[in-house]
Homo-oligomer: A and B are copies of this chain.
Amino acid sequence: MDDERDYAALDAFLREAGRDGYLLHASADLADQYYLSGFDAPDPFVTLYTPETTALLVSGLEYGRARSESRADAVRRYADYDYHGLASEHGRDEAFRRVVARFLDEFDAADVATNARFPLGVADDLRARDVAVTPDRDDHVGDARAAKTATEVEHVREAQTANEASMRAAETLIREASVADGVLRYDGGALTAERVKEEIEVTLLRHGCSLDETIVACGADAAEPHNRGSGPLRANEPIVIDIFPRSKTTKYHADMTRTFVKGEPSDAAREFYDVTRGAFDAAFEALEPGATGADVHAAACEVYEDAGYPTLRSDPGTETGYIHSTGHGVGLDVHEGPRLSEGADGELVPGHVITIEPGLYDPDVGGVRIEDIAVVTEDGYEDLTDYPVEFVVE
């Protein structure tokens, strides 16, 4: 894939909607903000993207860094619009409002699109000053972010390499554990979900990644896809390990899941695994440019339905079976576009980085999920995951 970002669709949207630009007010924690500005700041700042220029408005404290580190064509600081004078006359809040209005005026932006989660307070202020502010319900910046450049794919690949090291550390703990009274033991105590998570996190840190949360869930915990898991891990039950770290340097994520059984899985759990492996393969089989996210999801659903398990499309209210979508985009956000789910009718294109992560859940059996991360290529896909898919560990 190309190594140039493609803003053509964003520019066309702005032109067709009659907007002068795309406005953000957020810290770099908002992926759209970091993407458009290229500036990593912990407090909210303003970015105005137009087809001609990208301009930032930052506090004096961030001005030097914004000029040297951001991808903006122009950087302004509050003082450029007489913030101190305005603040002594009108107070700080009103001064900030006037500074933003003057900034937009300098860059001829009287009618702006914003992301849908743009802060209401700022929007109302601008509207009161006759700036038209319209939330972009179709998330055009998210669409631009979804199609990665070659450099962005490398960022994901690097994060995934760290991720695999942490999965290996977790798997090693489980392999090396002994079993007593049905519970995994290690280092003289029970091997807990918390202990495995700590090992994962320390390994990731040593590889330049961090993460907010990780899932190490066993038994009934694992039957709830969002349950993070806690307490002693048990033998003969599936243990779901789902790790989604972010590179501290590039801010790009990786994502992968493996499910392990220490000992002997039940027949039901083994069937969960075998069918999920089939759904995983079928989804990859369907993954290619021109296919839709819905197509890939349907391929996984068919395997489950053929094997007699409920899915959300065969039974929208089901609480067991295949109760989530097949995958999602991964980049600056761990969950971003494109979705691989029902109704996702946009075509996949080269550069889309996505997960394939089918799974089965039932409180009486536990949970099983297998997840790789891959990039769509001109002639199919490249799996960015280099980690064996195994179930039973001894």
Say yes or no: A225 contacts B61, CB within 8 Å: yes
- What is the CB-to-nearest-CB distance from A139 to chain B, in angstroms, rounded to a whole number? 10
Say yes or no: A316 contacts B84, CB within 8 Å: yes
Binds B, one of A112-120, A144-152, A279-287: A112-120
A12 within 8 A of B: no
Binds B, one of A102-110, A160-168, A200-208, A256-264: A200-208
In angstroms, Cα B64 to Cα A198, docked, is 26
A212 within 8 A of B: yes
18 contacts between A and B (CB under 8 A): A42-B213, A64-B224, A65-B224, A65-B227, A92-B343, A93-B137, A114-B120, A116-B121, A117-B119, A117-B120, A118-B119, A118-B120, A118-B121, A119-B119, A201-B205, A201-B210, A210-B210, A210-B212
- What is the CB-to-nearest-CB distance from A190 to chain B, in angstroms, rounded to a whole number? 18
Copies of this chain = 2
| B residues in contact with A29, CB < 8 Å | 29
Partner of A120 from B60, B79, B119 at Cβ < 8 Å: B119
Say yes or no: B317 contacts A62, CB within 8 Å: no
| B residues in contact with A122, CB < 8 Å | 116
In angstroms, Cα B213 to Cα A241, docked, is 26
Say yes or no: A120 contacts B133, CB within 8 Å: yes
A121-134 vs B, Cβ < 8 Å mask (1 yes, 0 no): 11110000000010
Say yes or no: B213 contacts A206, CB within 8 Å: no
Say yes or no: B135 contacts A124, CB within 8 Å: yes
Q: In the complex, given contacts A65-B224, A116-B119, A119-B119, what are 16 additional A-B residue pairs having Cβ atoms less than 8 angstroms apart?
A: A41-B226, A42-B212, A61-B226, A61-B324, A64-B224, A65-B227, A79-B317, A93-B137, A117-B120, A118-B120, A120-B120, A121-B137, A123-B123, A124-B135, A198-B205, A201-B210
In angstroms, Cα B228 to Cα A42, docked, is 11
Say yes or no: A121 contacts B92, CB within 8 Å: no
Known: A201-B205, A205-B202. A62 touches B210 (CB 8 A): no
- What is the CB-to-nearest-CB distance from A366 to chain B, in angstroms, rounded to a whole number? 16
- A172-204 residues at the B interface, CB under 8 angstroms: 198, 201-202
User: A122's closest neighbor in chain B, by CB?
Assistant: B116
In angstroms, Cα B212 to Cα A93, docked, is 28
| B residues in contact with A117, CB < 8 Å | 119-121
- A67-108 residues at the B interface, CB under 8 angstroms: 79, 84, 92-93
- What is the CB-to-nearest-CB distance from A249 to chain B, in angstroms, rounded to a whole number? 10
User: A62's closest neighbor in chain B, by CB?
Assistant: B226
In angstroms, Cα B205 to Cα A198, docked, is 7
A213-242 vs B, Cβ < 8 Å mask (1 yes, 0 no): 100000000001111000000000000000
| B residues in contact with A324, CB < 8 Å | 61
A299-329 vs B, Cβ < 8 Å mask (1 yes, 0 no): 0000000000000000011010001100000
Q: Which of A42, A79, A119 is packed against the most chain B CB atoms within 10 Å?
A: A119
